Structure 1
Amino acid sequence: MSDPRKWARLAVALGILLLLPAAVTLPSVAGPPRAGLSGPLNILLAGIDPRGTHTRPLSDTIIVAHIPADRRGVYLFSLPRDLVVWIPPFAKNGVTGRYAKINAAMALGSETGPDRYDPGQGWELLATTVGQVTGIKRFDAGAVINFGGFKRMVQTLGGVEMTVDQDVVSEHLKPDGTRRDLLPGCRIGGKCLRPYTGPQKIYPKSTAAVRLRPWEALDFVRQRYGLPRSDYDRQRHQRQFLRAVARQITDPAQLLKVMATVGDDLTFKDGGHDLTDWLVALKDVDTTAVVTVTLPGGPVLEHGKYLGERFGAGVTSFFAAVKRDRVAAYLLDHPTLVDPVVKTRRPSSRPVTRG
């Protein structure tokens, strides 16, 4: 039977913390998985920045976790938040179909009334939209976590140790973690694309893992300005963060503590299956084999104006491999899509301090 510590690492690596509240009872789970959870599994994860149920959420992070039928590992790939797509009509709240950036799907689907928003409902329209892009007809499960839950999770872990693979300069925060000053005439959410000025927090490239404090971890995975590949570098850093967190969850008790801390800041979509279904279906997953994938893409420009992102050549064939559960074989033939594993020396206990 699987080591319960692997369950904890898998749960956090996928962002679906609520899958395993009874991980300590794993040895009692037996029998074949039910038909609904046999074969390959696809899980849709979203990170949002709401400030309560009265604020429309945008999905700044969109990650798909693909678990093959043979359970030999987990594959993580991202969709750019600015990917221009067709967002279909949504009967639950009467939203009409439109072309827009994909992160708007969460916002449009979440509306439940005047100034009332439900991220769980927003996930449904996001899942349909992502499904149209990828060809994944139905996601087996999903999760939505907001920035507050993210920071509390990292706080509970005592920070996160990860290697910084390139210099990253914060657009949002000063070296002490406070918000940068606003340019005259600018306000957050206004027409200024980059409204901040003054000193900036810096995350220098490292060869050893550094410990990021909660505010540093959240700030680090949000950055795209100034990076050579902009949002594609940010997506890679988000997937690296998931792997780093997974390594730090060492036992079920620690996982339960993290879950209790996150609380209502995480919404879980179980796909209509109970805990036992998931425990049985995932008990043989190799949690040490988490492979992260960067899909090619680039900007959509019109007369020099940035309109969003689009995928590049080859993405359609990758999605076809996901549908056919042939991702491992596809990546063997297309190794440049696989994110390099950053080799590190012994982790440092000091937080990132340069700024």
Structure 2
Amino acid sequence: MRTCLISESGTRRTPWWTRLAIAVGVLLLLPAAVIVPSVAGPRRGGLSGPLTILLAGIDPRGTHVKPLADTIIVAHVPADRSGVFLFSLPRDLVVWIPPFPTTGSPGQRAKINAAMALGSPVGGDRYDPAQGYRLLATTVGRVTGLAFDGGAVIDFGGFKRMVAALGGVELTVDQEVVSEHLKPDGTRRDLLPQCRLGGNCLRPYTGPQKTYPKSTTPVRLRPWEALDFVRQRYGLPRSDYDRQRHQRQLLRAVARQITDPAQLMKVVTAVGDGLTLDDGGHDITDWLIALKDVDPTAFTTVTLPGGPVFENERYLGERFDPAVTRFFAAVKEDRVARYLLAHPKLVDPYHRARRP
């Protein structure tokens, strides 16, 4: 399966993943970037074969609060470098989180976004996302059967600074989205009276809401709008699965707007310590060489089927359909394109093949 990325002028651009690889290389050189001790162990030789990368987004409220992985995306680059495949894991996916001796966390069944929190305590009521990423990567690996060559964690502040450095981000809003959190002017919605004193309210807000109308052409979102847009699930037909699709859509849109080295440097400098990287035990040159031949005409995002889990009418989280294990096997065996040709409904509609 091939997807063609065409610029507004109809000409092909530099491969977005190559630009992202350069960004990773630059960030590894910035003192502000925090490097995760490689999940894979000691430094290794050059990268070859298929590459699988784990990306996570967190909503930190300071180092004194446990981070949760609100966004979990896996990027897979086949060995022939013919494209890039993105798929998400729901943050409420109920999984087995293995023991983590570093923090003394026992193995337990919980929502997958808790893995970051369980792996992050460093003592003294302080939490480190770099350490939490290690347990998240191990947990996602157990769910998918995949080993990761590297990864990254970006917090919401870093995300907004990245979008601000781009002057906003353009994307087509594929369905109306109404904000649960913000008013039309971007300020926080008012709390319900019963939720103002710290009550445990699932949906504590009231009053006017920011709305993102469905569009047929790209619209430019400001930094706070971009972040708010990809956080929404309430009121969407497929709830978190629609939100996951919007997150992948926005990741693609951001990457497409990074078009020259000067802009790239501006973006990565703006992100600063909002980004945590796992280089997988490889140096910058390894990554740049490994990704330089990625085909710029192929970019596919995938929605994996699943649904809610209930017990006595109480929502427990999400589960994947059993057939998803066959998709994970296709990723592991580097035959994703063939698998998606046989299962085209998994491909997000706005990323299906467009040819010049």
RMSD: 2.0
State yes or no: 1:182 paired with 2:191.
yes
Q: Which residue of 2 aligns with 1:19?
A: 25
Q: 1:10 aligned to 10, 17, 22, which one?
A: 17
Q: 1:39 aligned to 43, 49, 58, which one?
A: 49
Q: 1:256 aligned to 262, 265, 272, which one?
A: 265
Determine if contact 2:26/2:268 at 8 Å carries over to the other structure.
Answer: no
State yes or no: 1:221 paired with 2:221.
no
Deviation at 1:20, TM superposition (A): 4.3
Distance 2:122 2:347 in 1: 39
Deviation at 1:312, TM superposition (A): 1.0
Q: Which residue of 1 aligns with 2:104?
A: 94
Structure 1: stretches of 5+ with no match in the other structure: 24-33, 344-355
Distance 2:116 2:134 in 1: 8
State yes or no: 1:199 paired with 2:199.
no
The SS at the match of 1:144 is strand
Distance 1:169 1:12 in 2: 32
Aligned residues: 326
Can you list the C-alpha shifts for 1:315-339, whole angstroms capped at 9, x where unaligned? Answer: 0100000110000000000000000
Cα distance 1:89–1:231, how it changes in 2: closer, same or farther (>3 A)? Answer: same
Distance 1:146 1:12 in 2: 20
Deviation at 1:46, TM superposition (A): 0.3
TM-score by structure 2 length?
A: 0.88
Distance 2:308 2:84 in 1: 29
Q: Which residue of 2 aligns with 1:82?
A: 92
Can you list the C-alpha shifts for 1:299-318, whole angstroms capped at 9, x where unaligned? Answer: 00011110000001310100
Deviation at 1:129, TM superposition (A): 0.3
TM-score by structure 1 length?
A: 0.88
Q: Which residue of 1 aligns with 2:68?
A: 58
Amino acid in structure 2 at the alignment position of 1:10 = W
Distance 1:47 1:194 in 2: 22
Determine if contact 2:17/2:291 at 8 Å carries over to the other structure.
Answer: no
Deviation at 1:157, TM superposition (A): 0.2
State yes or no: 1:49 paired with 2:59.
yes
Amino acid in structure 2 at the alignment position of 1:207 = T
1:106-117 matched pairs, under 5 angstroms:
106-117=116-127
Can you list the C-alpha shifts for 1:231-253, whole angstroms capped at 9, x where unaligned? Answer: 00000000000111111110122
Q: Which residue of 2 aligns with 1:348?
A: none
Distance 1:233 1:203 in 2: 14
Structure 2: stretches of 5+ with no match in the other structure: 1-12, 30-43
Q: Which residue of 1 aligns with 2:5?
A: none
Higher relative contact order (CA 8 A, sep 6+): 2
Determine if contact 2:65/2:126 at 8 Å carries over to the other structure.
Answer: yes
Cα distance 1:12–1:294, how it changes in 2: closer, same or farther (>3 A)? Answer: farther
Distance 2:219 2:297 in 1: 21
Distance 2:217 2:292 in 1: 32
